[in-house]
Amino acid sequence: MNWWMDPEHAKHAWDFGIAAVGALAGTAAGAWVAVQGDRKRNTKEIQDRHVEAANVAIFSLSLVYTYVVEYHLVVIQPLKDNPHRWYRISASVMPPPSLMPFDVGQRLAFLFESPHKNLPNRLSIEFQRFTGLLDLTRRAGEANKELQAICAAKDPIPQDLAEIEEAIGEVRTAVLNKYVDGIIDLVEGMAPSVMAAALALRTAMLSLYPRRTIVQFAPELLKVP
């Protein structure tokens, strides 16, 4: 009789086969659980990065909004109709907020693959406009310091703004007027636009990740008249 026909050997072979299948099934199940665990962990890490990026952007936009509104209330509104606003506004420097370095195209690139694919460009424009505003105020302040140095070298030193305007000449006055007009245009249109962009980002994130915490758009309670 062949060994495989022996009932005792057959039983051992059957038991071995069952054990082997069970071991393979257990290994496969363990591997499947591990893969699913890794996949779930990777998904959470991706979501964490997306949510963190959006929250940083919303917080930064809150700081931008607050700065722009304060600049409007403190500097622009009281001096907008002043005949010497070219001098007074250019001399009024407000320290800008400290924003975290933020690359919208990189940090919020996931939105391009969502129903909100136009939002990153919109947000980039808001941050670029703010950078442009800071650049204009910086250049206006530097030009104002230059004309003050020119006046300080005059003999006699100009005593009022009419004399200052005469002392620096039409060209320098026109340059400052151009800077100040640009500042006014940016400030007056920026606050509502920044608020709308921040709220749009928050709404988009809540639709993508309804169970995650998305920060409120919470600048100081200031309103542009």
The pLDDT tens digits along the chain (225 residues) read: 444 455 555 555 545 555 555 555 556 555 544 545 556 667 889 999 999 999 999 999 999 999 999 999 999 999 999 888 988 999 988 888 888 888 898 899 999 999 999 999 999 999 999 999 999 999 999 999 988 888 888 888 877 778 787 778 888 888 899 999 999 999 998 999 999 999 999 999 999 999 999 999 877 554 444
Evaluate whether residue 112 is within a structural domain.
yes
Question: What domain count does the chain have?
Answer: 1
**The whole model's pTM is what?**
0.76
Look at residue 224 in the predicted model and tell me its pLDDT: 44
Query: For tokens 């709308």, what's the residue?
Result: 196
Evaluate whether residue 222 is within a structural domain.
no
Evaluate whether residue 219 is within a structural domain.
no
Evaluate whether residue 102 is within a structural domain.
yes
Evaluate whether residue 217 is within a structural domain.
no
Look at residue 4 in the predicted model and tell me its pLDDT: 44
Evaluate whether residue 5 is within a structural domain.
no
Domain boundaries, position 103: 13-208
Evaluate whether residue 213 is within a structural domain.
no
Evaluate whether residue 4 is within a structural domain.
no
